Amino acid sequence: MPTKLLLIEDVDSVGRSGDVVTVKPGFARNFLVPQGRAVVASKYTLRMQEKLQQERAKKAAEDKKDAEKQAKQLADVTVETKVKTDAAGHMYGSVSALDIVNLVGEQAKIELDRRSVLLKHPIKALGIHRIELRLTEGVEASVQVKVMNEEGEIPAPKKTVEEEDAPADAEAEENAAEEQTTEA
């Protein structure tokens, strides 16, 4: 049986301060209520809801203003990292969202949260990558990450034997397809 709660603080993936939410009883009993992040919704606690929503609106306006300022600072930021590579130029390991947060903190002196980096998969290739960020209150920003080898350069990717033969194979297939259409 779901439990209705009034959130006192913002809770990720549940709701914001002042929202009345329905959660599973164990989550309410073991986490939200003991941590002081929510109270059981009753006619008395619902009177607090309007006050909490007004406070949340003020905080949201401040957070959005700060996030837009931070987005402007991040617009021109390019962070660099050096990684180990093999002779063919392939990286050992990868550059993760946490690595990007640390790089921005060290090189640009801007603090980010790991969850604000929108990176589906870690970076596993040398080069310049544009990484999208979602700051507080949904403000979008981006930062460039320059992934270089230990010598500080970004070598052009070397073609493997299969990649060099691929265009010739594609041309042969196209010629064979054309011959079949002309015969028919």
CATH code (residue 10): 3.40.5.10
Indicate the residue among 62, 95, 110 that finishes a domain.
62
pLDDT exceeding 70 applies to what percent of the chain? 84
pLDDT reported for residue 164: 47
Band (pLDDT 50/70/90 cuts) for residue 140 is very high
Assess whether 79 and 133 both reside in one domain.
Answer: yes
Number of domains in the chain: 2
* Alpha-carbon gap, residue 78 to 108, rounded angstroms: 8
Asked whether residue 171 is domain-assigned, the answer is no
* Alpha-carbon gap, residue 31 to 154, rounded angstroms: 48
Assess whether 104 and 128 both reside in one domain.
Answer: yes
pLDDT in tens, 24-57: 999 999 999 999 999 998 888 878 888 888 888 8
Assess whether 100 and 142 both reside in one domain.
Answer: yes
> Who contacts 122 (Cβ-Cβ below 8 Å, separation ≥6)?
94, 95, 96, 97
Considering only CA atoms, which of 64, 84, 144 is closest in space to residue 108? Answer: 144
Q: Give the domain range for residue 132.
A: 75-148
How far from the centroid of its chain's Cα atoms is residue 117's Cα?
Answer: 3
pLDDT reported for residue 43: 83
pLDDT in tens, 3-19: 899 999 888 889 988 88
* CB-CB contact of 20 with 49 (8 Å): yes
* CB-CB contact of 17 with 10 (8 Å): yes
pLDDT reported for residue 17: 86
* Alpha-carbon gap, residue 73 to 167, rounded angstroms: 44
Q: What is the CATH number of the domain that holds 89?
A: 3.10.430.100
Q: What is the pTM of this model?
A: 0.67
Band (pLDDT 50/70/90 cuts) for residue 88 is confident
pLDDT exceeding 90 applies to what percent of the chain? 46
